[in-house]
Amino acid sequence: MNSAILAPAAVLICWTLFMLIWLAATRFPAIKKTGLDIGAQRGGRGQDLEGVLPPEVQWKAHNYAHLVEQPTLFYAVVFIIALTGTGDAWINVWLAWAYVGIRIVHSIWQSTVNIVPVRFLIFSLGSLVLLALALHATAAALQ
C-alpha cells in the first residue's frame, strides 16, 4: 500500500513525541527546583504535580495528554481511508495535513500562551476537519 495520507499521520506521531521531550525537558528541572524527590514517590501520576509545578510547566503535559486523546481517532480514520484505497484522494490528503497543522498550532498555543478561548477555537477547527475526514472514511468504508 502506498498512500499519501499516511504521511500526515506519521508527522503527528513525531510531533507527539516532540511534545513528550519538551514536557520532560521542562518538567524535570521544575521538579528539581521544588526539591521533590520523585524517586521516593510510589505510584505517583503526572496529575499529582498540579498545583505543585507552575502552570506554564504543566501546560506541556496537558497538551501531551491531548495529543493522545482525540488524535487516536485521526489515526483510525487515516488507516480506514488508506485501507479503502481513498488515501491518495487530494481532498483526504489535504484534510489530513490541515488536521496535523491545526494540532501543531494548538500544541504551540497551549504550551506557550494558553489563552483558553483562542485555544478552544483552534481545537474546534481541528475537530471540524476531523469530522470531515471521518465522514469520508465512513463513506469509503460503506462502498
Give per-residue pLDDT as tens, 26-59.
988 888 887 776 666 665 656 666 667 888 988 9
**Predicted confidence (pLDDT) at residue 76 exceeds the cutoff of 90:** yes
Q: Where do we find the cell 504521511?
A: 7
Domain ranges in the chain are 6-142
The CATH class that applies to domain 6-142 reads mainly alpha
> Beta-carbon neighbour count of residue 29 at 10 Å?
10
What amino acid occupies position 21? Answer: I
Mean pLDDT throughout 77-106? 96
How high does pLDDT run on average in the chain? Answer: 91
The confidence score (pLDDT) of residue 29 equals 87
Separation between Cα atoms, residue 57 and residue 21, nearest integer Å: 13
